[in-house]
Amino acid sequence: MEAKVYSVSGKASSAKATLSDEVFGIEPNNHAIYLDVKQHLANRRQGTHKSKERNEIAGSTKKLKKQKGTGGARAGSSKSGTRVGGGRIFGPRPRNYSFKLNVKLKRLARKSAFSYQMKNDALMVLEDVSMDAIKTKDFVSMVSALSLDNQKVLLILGDKNDNVYLASRNLKKVKVVTVESFNTYDVLNARKVLVTQSAISRIEEILN
């Protein structure tokens, strides 16, 4: 399939970009997307949650009252989880939430994400972006020229460009990644996906 190529000034050039149907035009697999996004969000979790159990509470281990004859329930320790100030029963402990997925499934998920965005007209091919200086104002001007103000934008670069990344870093709704670091969650979470011309062939090479 072919797609228009837009310049940083927001105008469509006469050039056309050829996109592989095997990457940008497949029938999306919803379950593959679900698993890949689930893994991405799970891997982001710190898993450092912790609460004190009864053996970690500071305090006396003296029996509070005699076993029988008080008319109330027996009580052995002030650290019991049933008492105010006691430990938590079956509280959270530090754990690792990450899990593994097959490479082929992750590739299918990313192809499906791109295909969804193509069907929704949410993917644009952009001329290669380069900046001589780190100026957020210039990056904002480019986004405005493309009529993408106040929209979540994902820009995928073919090669690492520190100036472009640093110029966009302060913008809350913009994320800049390279072909080596994009993921299914980022592609689907964006309202508009901008792919540079140099990134297209690299993406097709990685996903095929």
Residue % of the chain over a pLDDT of 90: 82
Domains of the chain: 2-45+97-207 (3.40.1370.10), 48-96 (no CATH)
From the CA atom positions of the chain, what is the Rg in Å?
Answer: 27
**pLDDT, mean of residues 165-184:** 93
pLDDT of residue 12: 83
Asked whether the beta carbons of 5 and 197 are under 8 A apart, the reply is: yes
pLDDT, tens digit (0-9, with 9 covering 90-100), for 19-60: 999 999 999 999 999 999 999 999 999 999 999 999 999 988
- DSSP codes, 85-114: T-PPTT------------HHHHHHHHHHHH
Asked whether the beta carbons of 141 and 121 are under 8 A apart, the reply is: no
Q: Which residues pair with 178 in a beta bridge?
A: 157
